[in-house]
Structure 1
Amino acid sequence: MNQKPPIVALDRETTYKAIKNLLLSGELGPGEALSERALSERFGVSRTPVREAIRTLANDGLLEIVPMRGTFVRQLSVDDLREIHELRLAFEGMAAWLAAQRGVPPALRDCADRLRAMSAPHANIDVDEAQQIGWQFHEAMFAAAGNARLLDMYHALRVQSGLALQRIPNYDVKRTREAVCEHLAIFEAIAAGRPDDAQRAVWDHLNHAMQVRLKALIPVSAV
């Protein structure tokens, strides 16, 4: 009689990342219920790391655990989006301000070079690629700020921001080009050692992004 191989209990961090990817990719949509059993079978793990990962994702603000009902992908409200935006203004504005005083590391310059190539006249622009480089730019900017605690707070907020982003199915090329130019404006201020200008450039970029998200998430009739 052949026996099935035992389920390998992967560590919580690996399972956490796998489930988070499902959330941020949009494969698990807002309001959708999660099943510990289905997830454990999908990833070939025991329920223990799944349960622990779900608990952590709930603490991250990505999932909602409802007593006697189950666990659901969190549906972000306009108020949630506003709060995330306000925190990003504070964290990212400070990161840009600090980075402008501490110099440009290679990772940030590399992101700027790739974005600059996209901004060239008649250059084809890949929306998904531009968004990925944009996230890398923000990550490199926080690293350039040289404040580990600030970076930790940004990472905690970023996952919620990513959940908001996946609810917007299509970013148009026009807005993507604008965002690329905004990132380059941030970089130029940092590279020139102008902290106040760098902070203002980040605020302008985030405010423009917020306007786009609100237009996508709020029906025209509700505005």
Structure 2
Amino acid sequence: MLEPSCGVWTFIWLYAGIPVMKQTNTKASSTAYEAIRSMIAQGQLSPGEELSERSLAESLQLGRTPVREAIKDLCREGVLMSVPLRGTFVQRLSVEDLKEIHEVRLALEGMAAKLAAEKGGSPELRACLAELQALPDGPELDTFEAQRIGWDFHKAIFQAAGNKRLAKLYADVRVQNSLAMQRVKNYDAERTRVVIKEHIAIGNAILDRNQTLAHQLVWDHLQKAMETKLRSLLAVLG
């Protein structure tokens, strides 16, 4: 089984007590930062797409200065890429990037599952689990809805863990993960059904306060997801 590299733990150590967006101090800049990051995570801005500072400022109804500061922060995080004399673009992530993101997710989500199980879950986690259990198993299954609930479920685990720094790290990694996933096709119905069952098993382990099982199930789930994503990404890259 893949173990997180030393670099992953260094990443977590460095950022556990330091806000990633340390250069952005104004409320307007924070608003711009969160808005642009959300647009990337939701696929409204695609990998390789050029950003227009002016257009973003107009659409967000903000001045160009806070948008410029937010773009600089996102460049520092590796979500955006500034090319001299050309412009700023949404970063394209490689197979190696995806592997590194996966290692970080293993470390973060494994820890979150253990902490959540120690506390016995949360109302938000129970609500997500109920939604997962209510999803139909037949051909009427909406894979997009199932995947939306799945992302909410992962977020709920971090909320149940009760560690704000851990949740912040996950939010940052999730944006980068979304960049890679925009180049990968969505799960088919068969794989989605398997993922639903994996999520339910993880949720039950957390509610049962079984820390060891919750941690192991999360790792197994992420390993299987990684294998599927890599196959899809390699197919896209040819």
TM range (shorter): 0.7 to 0.9
- Asked whether 1:160 is paired with 2:139, we answer no
Q: 1:55-105 CA distances to partner (integer Å, 9 max, x unpaired)? A: 122233210112333211100001100000001001101111121111121
In the alignment, what sits opposite 2:84?
67
Residues 101, 193 of structure 1: 8 Å contact kept: yes
User: 8 Å contact 2:56–2:67 — kept in the other structure?
Assistant: yes
Aligned-residue RMSD, C-alpha: 2.1
Unaligned segments of structure 1, at least 5 residues: 1-9
In 2, distance between residues paired with 1:20 and 1:147?
A: 22
1:122 corresponds in structure 2 to: 138
Deviations 1:187-206 (A, max 9, x none): 11112221111111001111
Hey, which bits of structure 1, 4+ residues long, moved more than 6 A? Answer: none
Match of 1:48 among 47, 52, 65: 65
- What is aligned with 2:50? 33
* 1:85 counterpart residue number: 102
Larger radius of gyration: 1
Three-state SS of the structure 1 residue aligned to 2:179 is helix
* Partner AA of 2:59 in structure 1: R
Q: State the 1:154 CA deviation.
A: 1.3
Q: Specify the SS of the correspondent of 1:76.
A: coil
Supply the AA of the counterpart residue of 2:170: Y
Q: 1:111 aligns with which of 114, 128, 145?
A: 128
The answer to whether the Cα contact below 8 Å between 1:117 and 1:123 also exists between their aligned partners in 2 is no
1:57 paired to 2:69: no
- Which range moves more in the overlay, 26-35 or 81-90? 26-35
Amino acid in structure 2 at the alignment position of 1:210: M
CA contact (8 A) 1:108 1:137 kept: yes
Task: Report the alpha carbon displacement of residue 219 of structure 1 after superposing the two structures with TM.
Answer: 2.2
Query: Given the alignment of the two structures, is residue 24 of structure 1 paired with residue 41 of structure 2, yes or no?
Result: yes
Partner SS state of residue 218, structure 1:
helix
2:165 is the counterpart of 1:149: yes
Per the alignment, in what secondary structure is the counterpart of residue 45 of structure 2? coil
Report the TM-score, using the length of structure 1 for normalisation.
0.87
Count of matched residue positions in the alignment of Structure 1 and Structure 2 = 213
Cα distance change of structure 1 residues 97 and 19 upon mapping to structure 2, 3 Å threshold: same
Q: Could you list the per-position Cα deviations for residues 16-42 of structure 1 after superposition, in whole angstroms to 9, with x for gaps in the alignment? A: 233223322333221122121232233
**Pairing partner for 1:214 from 204, 213, 230:** 230
> Aligned partner of 1:19: which letter?
I
Q: Name the aligned partner's letter for residue 68 of structure 1.
A: L
- 1:138-173: CA deviations, max 9, x gaps? 111112112222222212211111222222243211
SS at match of 1:65: strand
Decide which of 111, 114, 119 is 1:102's aligned counterpart: 119
TM-score calculated relative to the size of structure 2: 0.82
- Does the C-alpha gap of structure 1 residues 33 and 197 become closer, same or farther in structure 2, counting only changes over 3 Å? same
CA contact (8 A) 1:60 1:159 kept: no
Find the aligned partners of 1:200 and 1:92 in 2 and give their Cα distance: 11
Q: CA deviation at 1:123?
A: 6.9
